[in-house]
Chains A and B, each alone.
Chain A
Amino acid sequence: SQQGEEDPQALSIQEGENATMNCSYKTSINNLQWYRQNSGRGLVHLILIRSNEREKHSGRLRVTLDTSKKSSSLLITASRAADTASYFCATSERGSGNTGKLIFGQGTTLQVKP
């Protein structure tokens, strides 16, 4: 079952602006990951944040994790037209028998206008 809920479902911004996407989940997790998908094909891994981490940076990406609220956010700063894509959060659930399978959200479609 899909446990991730992402908002907004769609986001349109001008190049140079910041884009913020949010993800909520329901169960206890080992980690949360963000992926990007272009043109409905393969996913590209962006960043992984562990359950004991609160914030992580990678280039223009900033991810936060609030386990008390079971939520995460992805911030893309100084956006570029090339950032146009769908962004998905995915959680790896904690618990016995955890296989590391990922539970994906429905995704946020980001459009960056030049």
Chain B
Amino acid sequence: AQSVTQLDSQVPVFEEAPVELRCNYSSSVSVYLFWYVQYPNQGLQLLLKYLSGSTLVKGINGFEAEFNKSQTSFHLRKPSVHISDTAEYFCAVTLTGTASKLTFGTGTRLQVTL
């Protein structure tokens, strides 16, 4: 079975600074990977996804993530954050080739301050 580890439960950062949110997964077979964002009191919104092809994936709101198969990682990055990026971010994994279930990490709270 697949699993996801988000090593940082909270990441504080100043506005306009770069940020990286870490995600590692475990699976013996090929996977699809996702990052979701949850703003306060809202549902989850898809930020970006890796299915195949280029390992650098660009998403909405200036975020990008890089799939690294050898390190089984899918870290999320943004070169310059804004106050409005304050939210909880979830990494998720599912097995390829089937309509199988998503497994989520426990989330990383990104807190952007002035």
State yes or no: do A and B come from one complex.
Answer: no
Taking Cβ atoms with an 8 Å cutoff, the residues of A that contact B are none
Taking Cβ atoms with an 8 Å cutoff, the residues of B that contact A are none
